[in-house]
Structure 1
Amino acid sequence: MSAAANEPQQPIGLEPFGQSAALSLGVELELQLVNTHNYDLAPYAEDMLRLMAGRKLPGSVVPEMTSSMIEISTGVCTSAGQALDELTQLRDALVACADKLNIAILGGGTHAFQQWHQQRIYDKPRFRELSALYGYLSKQFTIFGQHVHIGCPDADTALVTLHQMSRYIPHCIALSASSPYVQGQDTAFDSARLNSVFAFPLSGRAPFALTWDAFADYFTKMTRTGVVRSMKDFYWDIRPKPEYGTIEIRVFDTPLTVQRAAALAAYVQSLAAWCMHDKPFMPTDDDYLVYTYNRFQACRFGLDAVYVDPATGEHMALREHILATMDRIAPHARELGAENGLALLRADVQASRNDARWLRERQGEERLLAEVVRQAAGRFREA
């Protein structure tokens, strides 16, 4: 690591919490770029961005940490249906541009057999800075996630909702899990991607603060240490995004289809509506006694995980807790037009299906990970 990477830099400061429509949505997807020869990752982000720049599309398309990744984002949406429409437009444009370059694009939380040391850091100041600080971890961060933003009416509501939704982080992990393979090996995890995130020192859970004043005090203390400069330095599972007036859920693996990405957004929006309007419980710091255990269970076993209720200590099947939660949030899903997304996810939970299972089934049939990646690319462009 260079000496410059160790030098404290001027903190940017905590922004005021912005205004956004309550329960508005924004969806970000990090996607894989692969060649069509052996379906390994291919450093074509710059070419893709050049081709995409001439198209009028909702949201945005931006580079990510390494040159074999690209990120698409919707605009501010009112419903999961609108998010699906925008993601579909972006997906179709990406596929058309990829075809011109003779490459393919796909979802999934990890590439099945890429070698991290072969990846190139995308030439952007922040990515160069992170590479200088984190060394090889930066290239190992060639992983792919979905982030969902939820609009909050005010800063205090955002923090209370953030900590309420922390109980449901295992649900989000298991429903989206799509990263069983890393560097050619079956990891035995449904979501191995999050193991790479956990390596970063500012990952994990947000500090327990239920008011913006208390959170601002924490942020001030952290900036005084020189460890952080801005909210971007936190890699928490859920974090407030004051510039947008949202909370951002960050634990999802990128799904294999945009349809599933929109369904996951529908689930989060409905869950947030239940938390904000019904106020089913007040979060406490004791909720986090089992947080890391529940998160590990979901990463390792997916829908087959054990879930420990932080309020009662009861152990149950995670799939049963997910289904019970879907029943509770169903009235809000109806009001938000999110029923189709929840129905898709409910059917998969009842059948013990997620994208990790689909990938393993394809590998069981094909015995060739390159063919599994090829089929995943085909699935992304069609669904």
Structure 2
Amino acid sequence: MSPLDNPPSPFSPPTAEPTRAQREADARVVPLEPFRSSKALSLGVELELQLVNTHDYDLAPYAEDMLRGMAQFDLRGSVVPEMTSSMIEISTDVCHSAEEVLQQLGPLRDALVKVAGKLNIAVLGGGTHAFQQWHEQRIYDKPRFRQLSELYGYLSKQFTIFGQHVHVGCPDADSALLMLHRMSRYIPHFIALSASSPYVQGQDTQFDSARLNSVFAFPLSGRAPFTLSWKEFEGYFARMTRTGVVKSMKDFYWDIRPKPEYGTIEIRVFDTPLTVERAASLAGYVQTLAAYFLQEQPFVPSEDDYLVYTYNRFQACRFGLDAVYVDPATGEHMPLREHILRTMTMLEPHAAVLDATRAFGRLRSSVEASQNDARWLRERQGRERLLAEVVRQAAERFRTPVG
């Protein structure tokens, strides 16, 4: 057939060679790695911790020395540097219960305390250091951290903040996205239960979790785009890498993000608690929620869930357990504390199956007493009137196992 037998429509744009800019953009496209199947409800926990001197309890740049000292211990999990040299991160191997998380975090804590003692420094939790000055911090000498410092400027040093990340295993990619968006309704729970950052540079911010205000300054923070299809998510990732703004999933600072290389979703809004026991309890809470989602399929999330997302997140950061929670499904307003307690009651059967009853008990008693770590820090400051003494007591609390 001759081309003249089927001439092009006059409304069809002429076919053109891609421009140089288009070719360069296409070359930047990075395919998202396949989602690795993992055991459903498996857990992994990461804790970013503060290193302080024992003279005035300000942050101290001892990460390199701590890493050398920890290398002598043969422990499950890992210890790695973080953005600035007054921080260190510990993480568990794959766990299957809150009790197993604690069995790994406890020896890591004990080893950290031993090494820190030899260096005349201390280790502690908490989402922010109470009085450090960000401009005094040093970026840890690692290529990725140097690149981030060049890109984000002073925000990199202001990122001397300390969070807990919880990974929960998902059987497949679409299940992971469904889990991620279901979990989004409970982000205020996670913030209020873990809040431990009321002080920034010597000031009471009036927030229970001021740490997250530093995270929100980053351009790729916030919430993940809404889709329940991994194929659609791969398309989104390809478009983002085509812009050159994103090169890997690490470039997204979302509250929850998928981690395809692990087969998990990673929840990132927790402040680092003051004890590893509370960290393990929070992981148990996440796991029990995930079991409820998988076994009961309680609701299908939608984009409308995010109408009140930012408001609920702000309330939890600002007021902690005293926040107001707006139910995205019904619009009902209620005390966040009441919503958490209702949820815990609903989840108790799942907690029993997962060996999370003790973890639930620890969390529930603190909610009923309106206590979180932010309130503990404020109470100590009200009594001591000296933030350095509050930091010293927080370090003592971290090193002492909870009975």
Band the TM-score falls in, shorter-chain normalisation: over 0.9
Q: Structure 2 matches for 1:151-190, cutoff 5 A?
A: 151-190=169-208
- Pairs aligned (count): 377
Mapped partners of 1:11, 1:340: distance in 2: 47
Cα offsets for 1:77-134 (capped at 9, x unmatched): 0111010010001000000000010000000000000000000000000000000000
Per-residue deviation, 1:277: 1.1
In the aligned structure 1, how far is the partner of 2:364 from the partner of 2:142? 41
Check if 1:43 corresponds to 2:61. yes
> 2:144 aligns to what?
126
Rounded to whole Å, the distance in 2 between the matches of 1:106 and 1:317 is 31
Please state how far the C-alpha of 1:324 moved relative to its aligned partner: 0.6
Contact 2:54 2:120 in 1 (8 A): yes
Q: 2:111 aligns with which of 82, 85, 93?
A: 93
Q: 1:105 to 1:289 in 2, by over 3 A?
A: same
C-alpha distance in 2 between matches for 1:297 and 1:360: 19
Q: Distance in 2 between matches of 1:355 and 1:12?
A: 41
Distance in 2, matches of 1:323 and 1:158, equals 26
2:168: which partner in 1? 150
Q: CA deviation at 1:13?
A: 3.2
Aligned partner of 1:284: which letter?
Answer: S
1:13 and 1:230 in contact (8 A); partners too: no
Taking the aligned partners of 1:181 and 1:307, their CA distance within structure 2 comes to 24
How far apart, CA to CA, are the structure 2 residues paired with 1:107 and 1:200? Answer: 23
Please state how far the C-alpha of 1:327 moved relative to its aligned partner: 1.2
Aligned to 2:231: 213
Q: What amino acid is aligned across from residue 147 of structure 1 in structure 2?
A: H
2:347: which partner in 1? 329
Contact 1:83 1:262 in 2 (8 A): yes
- For residues 355 and 378 of structure 2, the distance between their equivalents in structure 1, rounded to whole angstroms, comes to 33
What percentage of residue pairs aligned between the two structures are identical?
Answer: 78
Measured after TM superposition, the shift of residue 211 of structure 1 is 1.3
Contact 1:13–1:229 (Cα < 8 Å) also in 2 = no
Mapped to 2, the partners of 1:357 and 1:229 lie a distance apart of: 39
The reply to whether residue 193 of structure 1 matches residue 221 of structure 2 is no
The aligned counterpart of 1:366 is 384
Letter of the 1:348 partner, please give it: S
Q: Which runs of 4+ in 1 moved over 4 A?
A: 7-12
Query: Is residue 11–residue 230 contact of structure 1 (8 Å, CA) maintained in 2?
Result: no
Instruction: Decide whether the 8 Å contact of 2:83 with 2:159 is kept in 1.
Output: yes
Corresponding residue for 1:141? 159
1:315 has 2:351 as partner: no
SS for the counterpart of 2:58 is: coil
Which of 300, 304, 313 is residue 286 of structure 1 equivalent to? 304
**Larger CA deviation: 321-330 vs 111-120:** 321-330
Larger Rg: 2
**Deviation (angstroms), 1:11:** 5.3
1:349 to 367, 371, 377: 367
- For 1:40-81, what per-residue CA distance to the aligned partner results, in whole angstroms no more than 9, with x for missing partners? 000000000011112101110000000000000000001110
**Partners of 1:324 and 1:217 in 2: CA distance:** 38
Q: Is the 8 A contact 2:29 2:238 kept in 1?
A: no
Separation in 2, partners of 1:19, 1:30: 27
- 1:256 paired to 2:274: yes
CA distance in 2 between counterparts of 1:28 and 1:117 reads 26
1:18 counterpart residue number: 36
SS in 1 for 2:50: strand
Q: TM-score, normalised by structure 2?
A: 0.92
2:191 partner letter: I
* Structure 2: tracts of 5 or more residues without a match: 1-23
1:269-327 per-residue CA deviation (whole Å, 9 max, x = no partner) reads: 00011011111100000000000000000000000000000000010000000011111
Structure 1: state its 5+ residue gaps.
Answer: 1-6
RMSD: 1.1
Residue 276 of structure 1 pairs with residue 294 of structure 2: yes
Paired residues of 1:256 and 1:355 also in contact (CA < 8 A): yes
- In the other structure, the counterpart of 2:16 is none
- TM-score normalized by the length of structure 1: 0.97
Aligned partner of 2:248 in structure 1 is 230
Deviates more, 1:319-328 or 1:106-115: 319-328
CA deviations 1:333-368 (Å, max 9, x no partner) are 111001111111111111100000000000000000
In structure 1, distance between residues paired with 2:83 and 2:174: 32
For 2:220, the aligned partner's letter is L
SS in 1 for 2:84: coil
Alpha-carbon distance in 1 for matches of 2:330, 2:176: 25
Match in the other structure for 1:59: 77
> What is aligned with 1:4?
none
Question: Match of 1:3?
Answer: none
8 Å contact kept, 2:127–2:195: yes
Preserved contact between residue 312 and residue 325 of structure 2 (Cα < 8 Å): yes
